[in-house]
A and B are shown apart, each in its own frame.
Chain A
């Protein structure tokens, strides 16, 4: 049963990767990569149970946090064109 769950997760990861490849706009790709990260977290958990080593859950936790921070950083870069401090003069000139 866990094997079936892992296979279904792999199939849905491939579907989302296809959307990431074909996505017409930038935000489709960001959305697809975010969903792909969530599915990867689930896949790591299931594979940890499948191989009898649930210590993989630490990696899954770390991956969840990095996925969230990465998505937010990419979106902030798209919006302000910088990851660090937001340049003030751009807002004043508008």
Chain B
């Protein structure tokens, strides 16, 4: 009985944390000033939020075929999410976008 309650609390904590990270990432994608900083916020949604939320669903579902599907979903998203983000960044860099910096570049002066 106590173990069931522990699993419940653990899964709700994981789902809540996952929702928090997804919301933070979405806010970052909307509010950050530049493309290269938005990439970081997108990665938060695709790694941290995704893994925490699906892990919470895993504990919620008990041990069955559904858990296998959820773990498969984690593996797929964990492989494809950073790959897609890297592809977007690489394509933007090839097309000529350069990250702007507030600092004056010291390399030119040396």
* Residues in A lying within 8 Å of B, measured CB to CB: 1-2, 4-5, 8-9, 11-13, 15-16, 18-19, 25, 27-28, 30-32, 34-35, 38-39, 41-42, 45-46, 49, 54, 57-58, 60-61, 64-65, 67-68, 71-72, 75, 78-79
Contact = CB atoms under 8 A, between A and B. Distances in A.
B88 A45 contact: no
A16 B26 contact: yes
Contacts of B53: 5, 42, 45-46
Contacts of A57: 66, 69-70, 73
A38 to B, nearest CB: 5
A61 B15 CA distance: 19
Q: Helix, strand, loop or mixed for chain B's interface?
A: helix
Q: Helix, strand, loop or mixed for chain A's interface?
A: helix
Interface in B54-100: 54, 57, 60-61, 66, 69-70, 72-73, 76-77, 80-81, 83-85, 87-88, 91-92, 94-95, 97
A41 B84 CA distance: 15
